[in-house]
Amino acid sequence: MNKLIEKASEEHNLTRDELITLLREDALNEEIFAAADKVRQKYVGDGIHLRGLIEFSNFCRNNCCYCGLRRDNKNIERYRIDENTIFQLAKHASENMGLKTIVLQSGEDMFFDCDKLCSIIRKIKTLGVALTLSIGEKSLTEYQAYKTAGADRFLLRIETTDKQLYLDNDPGMNWENRVECIKNLGIAGLEIGTGILVGLPKQKTESYADDILFFKNVHADMIGIGPFIPHPDTPLKNAKGGDLKTALKVMALTRLLLPDINIPATTAMETLAPNGQIRALRAGANVIMPNITLTEYRKHYELYPGKSTTGYTPDESLKDVKEKISALGRFVATDFGFHLHKI
Ligand code: 5AD
Ligand code: SF4
């Protein structure tokens, strides 16, 4: 085995330069994927955790250049799902679909203030599920309130650790503040989910190495890595976009360095290639997030075009995911899938 891959597999540490060497060398890709698959099996096993995703509002106060939900995009119909419908979707997911985690995701929508969110969190927690939020930058006090109401985890991608690239793509936002928010999630006692986009214009190989070291540094519990897919109603509509191979490589190296965390095979990976998620599950991923939003809303939650599950109902999304899992010879995990801290 290549010496660096061997070191990463055994010590779960690489220097920035070593990461860059592996990121640059495409002849080693299959070896990196196989090593990440082995480390995944050793630390988190063959069970795949399913997280039911509810996209409950597509209003957003931000204007990220890559995202179809950006506030300047007037070509989308904005919606909010009401509290009771959100609860009914979560109930169906828990009682009829057997899902153990519900993820509530939205743009940064100020309509759902802390009281409204805490009320939804308390209601969903009566179902006996784990609850993840993915609703953007909030204060430490708010993160603490969500935790007290029963939330378990929170997803907030750093998007990129290249500060200039972040500022170029997320106008009006502040990179240091985002890092502070990610750290505050941990202070509030929530599991920390973060991650990046791969393939933004001018994103460098060196910065992927920094991203992976950042994940270690903030003690991330979950890492989501998605190729950037240009959206026609955004300033980046003519950009080239990310490729699956690079996204898989950054993901596999993340598995080697953070061996016991949860890593989803992301929907963006599937959107780039019909077997994208299967390839991810063979290269370090152990989580899938089936979309359980009602079909009528899905087409309006277009972060990027061509999202693979847009036309599906919640039950069809689950069926699709379960078929992929059996094709791989793996199984759906029956526990909540918290980060087990094995190292
Ligand atoms: N392509 C891929 N992923 C995107 N996201 C936003 N826009 C795009 C896009 N065009 C991702 C961001 C955000 C997550 C919810 O969706 O990384 O954190
Ligand atoms: Fe809003 Fe998130 Fe899209 Fe940025 S990436 S515009 S914060 S929904």
Q: What is the CA radius of gyration of the chain?
A: 19
Assess whether the C-beta atom of 136 lies below 6 angstroms from ligand 2: yes
Cβ-contact 178, 156 below 8 angstroms:
yes
Nearest CA to ligand 2 atom 4: 64
- The whole-number pLDDT of residue 187 equals 98
Using most ligand atoms within 8 A of CB, pick from 57, 58, 66, 67 the residue to mutate for ligand 2.
Answer: 67
- The whole-number pLDDT of residue 1 equals 73
Measured between alpha carbons, how far is 108 from 39 in angstroms, rounded to an integer?
A: 36
Ligand 1 mean position to 127 CA, how many Å?
29
Ligand 2 mean position to 47 CA, how many Å?
31
Cβ-contact 82, 57 below 8 angstroms:
no
Which of the ligands is closest to the CA of residue 137?
A: 2
Measured between alpha carbons, how far is 121 from 151 in angstroms, rounded to an integer?
A: 6
Ligand 2 mean position to 273 CA, how many Å?
24
- The whole-number pLDDT of residue 309 equals 74
Q: List the one residue out of 227, 230, 231, 232 whose CA is nearest residue 242.
A: 227
Residues 45-96 have pLDDT tens digits of 999 999 999 999 999 999 999 999 999 999 999 999 999 999 999 999 999 9
Assess whether the C-beta atom of 65 lies below 6 angstroms from ligand 2: no
Using most ligand atoms within 8 A of CB, pick from 73, 76, 106, 304 the residue to mutate for ligand 1.
Answer: 304
* Per-position pLDDT tens, the chain of length 343: 799 999 999 999 999 999 999 999 999 999 999 999 999 999 999 999 999 999 999 999 999 999 999 999 999 999 999 999 999 999 999 999 999 999 999 999 999 999 999 999 999 999 999 999 999 999 999 999 999 999 999 999 999 999 999 999 999 999 999 999 999 999 999 999 999 999 999 999 999 999 999 999 999 999 999 999 999 999 999 999 999 999 999 999 999 999 999 999 999 999 999 899 999 999 999 999 999 998 899 999 999 998 867 778 899 989 999 999 999 999 999 999 999 999 8
- The whole-number pLDDT of residue 66 equals 98
Nearest CA to ligand 2 atom 2: 107
Assess whether the C-beta atom of 67 lies below 6 angstroms from ligand 1: yes
Instruction: Write out 5-31 in H/E/C secondary structure.
Output: HHHHHHHCCCCHHHHHHHHHCHHHHHH
Atom of ligand 1 nearest to the CA of 229: 1
Ligand 2 mean position to 303 CA, how many Å?
8
Assess whether the C-beta atom of 226 lies below 6 angstroms from ligand 1: yes
Instruction: Write out the chain in H/E/C secondary structure.
Output: CCHHHHHHHHHCCCCHHHHHHHHHCHHHHHHHHHHHHHHHHHHHCCEEEEEEEEEEECCCCCCCCCCCCCCCCCCCCCCECCHHHHHHHHHHHHHCCCCCEEEEEECCCCCCCHHHHHHHHHHHHCCCCEEEEECCCCCHHHHHHHHHHCCCEEECCCECCCHHHHHHHCCCCCHHHHHHHHHHHHHCCCEEEEEEEECCCCCCHHHHHHHHHHHHHCCCCEEEEEECCCCCCCCCCCCCCCCHHHHHHHHHHHHHHCCCCECECCHHHHHHCCCHHHHHHCCCCCEECCECCCHHHHCCCCCCCCCCCCCCCHHHHHHHHHHHHHHCCCEECCCCCCCCCCC
Using most ligand atoms within 8 A of CB, pick from 55, 59, 65, 70 the residue to mutate for ligand 2.
Answer: 70
In which region does residue 253 sit, left (phi positive, over 0), alpha (psi from -120 to 50) or beta (all else)?
alpha
